[in-house]
Structure 1
Amino acid sequence: MSWNTVTLEVSDDVARLTVDRPDALNAMNTETLDEIAEAIAAAESEAARVLILTGAGDDAFIAGADIDYMKEFSTPEALAYAERGQGIVRDLIEFPGVTIAAINGYAFGGGCEFALACDLRVASERAVIGQTEIDLGIIPGWGGTQLLQRLVPDETARRLIFFGDRLDASDAYERGLVGDVVAHDDLYDHVDEMAAELASKPRHALHAAKEALNAYHETGGEGGLTVERRAWSGLFGTPDQREGMAAFVEKRDPEFE
Structure 2
Amino acid sequence: MNVTLSRSGDVAVISLNRPEAMNALNAEMIDRIGTLIDEAAASSPRALLFVGAGGKAFCAGADIRELLERGAGAHRDAARSGQCTFAKLDRLPFPSLAVIQGVALGGGLELAMACTYRIAVAGARFGLPEIKLGLIPGYGGTQRLPALIGKARAIEMIASGRLVETDEAAQIGLIHQVVEAGDSIDLGVRFLDRLGEPFPAAMRMARTAVEKALSVSLEEGLSLEADLFVAATQTTDATEGMRAFLEKRKPAFTGR
Q: Which TM-score tier does this pair reach, normalised by the shorter chain?
A: over 0.9
SS at the partner of 1:185? coil
1:53/1:101 contact within 8 Å kept: yes
Instruction: Tell me, in whole angstroms, the C-alpha distance in 2 between the residues paired with 1:82 and 1:221.
Output: 31
Amino acid at match of 1:209: A
- 35-44 or 90-99, larger mean C-alpha shift: 90-99
Q: For residues 24-63 of structure 1, what are the structure 2 equivalents within 5 Å?
A: 24-63=21-60
| 1:249 corresponding residue in structure 2 | 246
Q: Which stretch shows the higher mean deviation, 180-189 or 129-138?
A: 180-189
Deviations 1:120-156 (A, max 9, x none): 1101113110010000100011111110111112110
Q: For 2:163 and 2:189, how far apart are their aligned partners in 1? A: 27
In the alignment, structure 1 residue 176 sits paired with structure 2 residue 170? no
* Partner residue of 2:161 out of 136, 161, 164: 164
**Separation in 2, partners of 1:149, 1:249:** 41
CA gap 1:199/1:16 in 2 versus in 1, 3 angstroms: farther
Aligned to 1:20: 17
Kept in 2, the 8 Å contact 1:202–1:240? The answer is: no
Cα distance between partner residues in 1 of 2:90 and 2:198 = 19
8 Å contact kept, 1:123–1:187: no
Question: After superposition, where does 1:217-232 map in structure 2 within 5 Å?
Answer: 217-232=214-229
Cα separation, 2, equivalents of 1:13 and 1:225: 34
1:149 equivalent to 2:146? Answer yes
Indicate conservation of the 8 Å contact 2:46/2:199, yes or no: no
For residue 235 of structure 2, the aligned residue among 234, 238, 249 is: 238
Q: Which runs of 4+ in 1 moved over 6 A?
A: none
Rounded to whole Å, the distance in 2 between the matches of 1:36 and 1:51 is 12
C-alpha separation between the residues in 1 aligned to 2:131 and 2:205? 37
Seen in structure 2, the aligned counterparts of structure 1 residues 10 and 95 have a Cα distance that, compared at 3 Å, is same
Contact 2:31–2:85, Cα closer than 8 Å, also in 1 = no
Once residues 86 and 48 of structure 1 are traced to their aligned partners in structure 2, the CA distance between those partners, rounded to angstroms, is: 23
1:201 Cα deviation from its structure 2 partner? 3.1
Q: For 1:98 and 1:146, how far apart are their aligned partners in 2?
A: 20
Change beyond 3 A, Cα 1:7–1:96: same
What's the counterpart of residue 112 of structure 1? 109
- Post-superposition Cα deviations, 1:186-211, rounded to whole Å, max 9, x if no partner, equal 65433212334558334311122122
Give 2:87's aligned amino acid.
R
Structure 2: how far apart are the matches of 1:121 and 1:42?
22
Higher mean C-alpha displacement, 90-99 vs 101-110: 90-99
Structure 2 CA distance for partners of 1:229 and 1:191, relative to 1, 3 Å: same
User: CA–CA distance in 2 between the matches of 1:231 and 1:125?
Assistant: 37
Q: Which runs of 5+ in 2 are unaligned?
A: none
Number of matched pairs: 254
Cross-structure match for 1:137: 134
SS at match of 1:184: coil
- State how far apart, in whole Å, the 1-side matches of 2:70 and 2:9 are: 42
RMSD of aligned residue pairs (Cα, Å)? 1.7
Q: TM-score, normalised by structure 1?
A: 0.93
Q: Which moved more, 1:8-17 or 1:163-172?
A: 8-17
Alpha-carbon contact 2:107-2:139 (below 8 Å) kept: yes
Shift of 1:11: 4.2
Judging changes above 3 Å, is the alpha-carbon distance between structure 1 residues 218 and 45 closer, same or farther for their aligned structure 2 residues?
farther
**CA deviation vs aligned residue, 1:78-119 (integer Å, no higher than 9, x gap):** 111101111122112222210111111111111111111111
**Structure 1 residues 202 and 55 mapped into 2: Cα distance closer, same or farther (>3 Å)?**
closer
Residue among 60, 71, 75 paired with 1:74:
71
Mapping for residues 170-209 of structure 1, pairs under 5 Å: 170-185=167-182, 187-196=184-193, 200-209=197-206
Aligned to 2:80: 83
In structure 1, the gaps of 5 or more residues are none
Contact residue 14 and residue 195 of structure 1 kept, 8 A: no
Indicate which of 79, 89, 94 corresponds to 1:92. Answer: 89
